[in-house]
Structure 1
């Protein structure tokens, strides 16, 4: 709901992003406190979305003079890498929409819990599949 800026998601409806939303560059400038030039040089295209490499955010966390900005950047990294991973070692553009919501009295907790539950469930299924494969291995299957 936060990503699409809809107060309620309903079945059988088509949703699109809200209009007049700051672009990815502007959002990153606000979150990081860095210049547009710095942000523009670090934005990468991954598939159909724009991302910023985690390495750049990590380096910024270590060097940024503003403690609040360090926390904001770290939070953005957690959202992008752990909660809503899309591109390996990159924070996706869509995550900045979610990141922006707490300041508007919208809590990301339900989304985080739902995504964590979904991820753990997927991991568990994968683990069970691998356990089955490993249990059924024969000596000739191993080189």
Structure 2
């Protein structure tokens, strides 16, 4: 479910957005923005309900928490989609919330596959304009994404990048002055 407002339903704003997209425009930054915003909100409050792309999060979990010995050649094809593969894969045993909590609380570094087998490193967009991160506009707000914080996923040397101002890059479209911030972000992407 992408951005559900209630279990089993998709927000009308999302369907309207996807209907308006032409073939040259991708909804990926919007989906990433809302997924990161929701995860951030849950982390900041220590609780809450995840309102984002659950399939995207599930693909990330399956790609990083269960190591595989052999990788299918399909992951290197140009039109490979981990989301489509997850949808076509018979479901694993239903994992309850309690089991997820146990998995996440007991995970060790050696249990994590830092680089997803389907991630073929190419170019990494690590900054945008004057920002030392990539600003992403979502449906309900914006968030800054700093790929340099996760270089380990690209099998690169990890270091602590410049992130001054990153925390302030997240805002809701209900906040004061949000229209000015939207203009700043859209001008940066031009």
Q: TM-score, normalised by structure 1?
A: 0.29
Q: TM-score, normalised by structure 2?
A: 0.24
Which is higher, the Rg of structure 1 or of structure 2? Answer: 1
Q: Point out the structure with the larger helix share.
A: 1
